[in-house]
Structure 1
Amino acid sequence: MIDRSSLFQPSTSLILIAEDAPDIADILCAYLARSGFRTAHAADGAQAIALHQSLKPDLVLLDVQMPRHDGWQVLSEIRHRGDTPVIMLTALDQDMDKLVGLRMGADDYVAKPFNAAEVVARVQAVLRRAGQVRSREARPLQAGPFRVDLESREVAIQIDGAVHVPELTATEFNLLACFVRSPRRVFSRAELLLGCLPEGHTLERTVDSHISKLRKKLESLGLQGMPLGVRSLGYRLGLEP
C-alpha cells in the first residue's frame, strides 16, 4: 500500500517498507512521515519486488520473514538491479543472520523489537552515506589501462596509445567493474556469483564460464591473463605490481 498523500512531496526521499505485520508497518510509516519522508508499504516479498521496480525508492526497510519471497530473496533481486540502500528488519538476532545480510549487500541491520525512532535515525544515516558513495562513484573507475564508466556502462582500454571500447555483456561488464574497483583484491566465486551474475544463477562454475569469455575478449586486445585465476581462492584483475 502506498501513502499517496506523501507522494506530492517530490523533494523528500521515498522509503519502501517491506513488512507483513500491519501494526509494525503503520508505526514505521508514521515515524518516517513525521521526519519528512514519503513512504510506500509492501505486505509481502513479491509486492516488495514489484514496488521497488515501479517506484524506485531511495531506501528499502526489508523484513526477512515474509510470505511470497523472503527478505533474502528480495535483497538478492534488489542487488541484481542496482545499489538501492537496504536496512534489514528481522526478529532473527543471530550473528550469522547479520553476517549473511551484510554479505548479501544489506547496508544495515535492525533486530526486532526495535525503537522506531532509532530506525528513522538509521535511515537518515544510511541515506547520507549512500549520497556520499554515489557522488564518488559518479566518477569513472580507473586501474591500469582500464577506465570503467558506471553510469554509461562503458569500458575504455588504453593500449599503446590507442583506446579500445570492447563489447561486453552485462555480466562481463559487472565482473570487470568489480575487479577494477578493487584491482588487488581476490574475489571468491561465491562473491562474484552473488554480486555480478543475473538472478537465478546458482552454480559457481557459471562464474568460470563468464570469466573465460571476458578473458578472451581482453586477450584479443593484447591483455593476457586477465582476470587472473588464483588457485583455490577465486579471481583478481591481474595487474602487474
Structure 2
Amino acid sequence: MTSFSFRACFDGVVPPTAADPSVLGTPPFRAVSYCEPFRAASGFGWYLYPPVDCYIKWDGTAFHWLMESAGDWMPLTNVAARTLIRLLGGEPADDAFLGLPVFATPPEPGLLQIWTGLVAVTPPEWSLLVRGVPNMPGSITYEVQDGMLETGWWHGPLMGNLRFRRSDEVVQLSRRMPLFAVQPVPREAYQSKLLRRTEFVPANAESRARTAEMISDAFSVRSDESPGGYRREVSRRRRA
C-alpha cells in the first residue's frame, strides 16, 4: 500500500489535514453540491499551516512581523526554528536542524519563504506539489508560488514561497487557516519525455466527426432538470 507521512520537527507544529472538498465552506453552494471537478480538485491533497500566529508586512524593500504575543513590529529576515521556539516561551532541544529558518528572505524582492515545521516522506516514485490552497479565495497582497519536491528521496524542510505584490499591507498568518496545500504526484507524470508525447489532433472532416461523438457522449450524463449528472456518473463508475 502506498504510504505518505509527515514528521514534525519541533513542538507546536500543526499536523496536516486532508484537503476539504467544500474548501472550508468558502465557495458557492452550487459548486460544492453539484460540480464534481470542483470538489475533486478541492479535496486533492493535504492542507499545511504556518508555524506561528503572526502578522507580516512588506514595505517594498524589507519584511517586518508582529507576533500575537508581542507588542512591537520586528524586522523579519531569517528566523531560525530555535529562535521561534524561544520567542514562544519554549526551550529548544539541542538539535542541529533547529538552526534552519522558519522564515527566510531570499535576495529576490518581495519573496518570503516559510517552513511549516514538517518533513515529508513519500514512496520513491512520488513527489509533492506545493501550492496554494485549491479553490480558496487568495490574498490580493501575495501569491503562493508552486514548487515540486521529490520527497521520495529528499526529506528536507517542507516549505513554500509567498511572493508579495503589494507593499504596506498587513497579512495575517493563522495556525487555524491553511496556508499551503501539498498534492501527491507520480514523478513520471511531469517528466519531459512523457509531456513530449502529447498528441494534437487538428480539426478536419474525419476528426470533427469523432470529436462531436465524444462531446455528445460526455454531455449525455448531464440533465438541465437534475444538476450534478457528471458527479453521479463519477460515483457510478467508482462503484462499478
> TM-score, with normalisation over the residues of structure 2?
0.23
Q: Which has the larger radius of gyration?
A: 2
More strand by share: 2
> TM-score, with normalisation over the residues of structure 1?
0.23
Q: Which structure's relative contact order is higher, taking Cα pairs within 8 Å and 6+ residues apart? A: 2
More helix by share: 1
